[in-house]
Amino acid sequence: MNRYEALLILNVKGGDEAVKEAVERIEGEFKKEGAAIESVQKMDRRHFTYVAQKVDAGYFVNFIFTGTPEVLEKLRAKFKLDAEVFRQNYTKLAAKKVAAAA
């Protein structure tokens, strides 16, 4: 099992309730594919430097999770087809260090 960080930019229309529903749905997709989520960081809506595909802002969400490389590929493919996920970026993280007992 590897540790990964996923930065997803959501193209969500509407207010905070729509964002909350989208994040909960995406979190469920992670769990359905077999990923164990360590943390979810909602980083708020930010405007882009330039307009991309007629979208000028997106809601940034950062997921830290563990899973196999196969899980990562399934998530990439699934979110590529998801209309609410505008962009996705994954980074492999170092293994979590366990504190030594003194």
Contact 93, 10 (CB under 8 A): no
Rg (CA), the chain: 15
Instruction: Give the pLDDT score at 33.
Output: 94
The structure's pTM equals 0.85
Instruction: Give the pLDDT score at 47.
Output: 86
* pLDDT tens, residue by residue, 18-49: 889 999 999 999 999 999 999 999 998 888 88
- Judged on CB neighbours under 10 Å (0-12, 13-18, 19+), 47 is exposed
In sequence order, what are the beta bridge partners of 39?
64
- What number is the average pLDDT over the span 73-77? 95
* pLDDT tens, residue by residue, 49-67: 888 788 888 999 999 999 9
What's the mean per-residue pLDDT of the chain? 90
Domains of the chain: 2-93 (3.30.70.60)
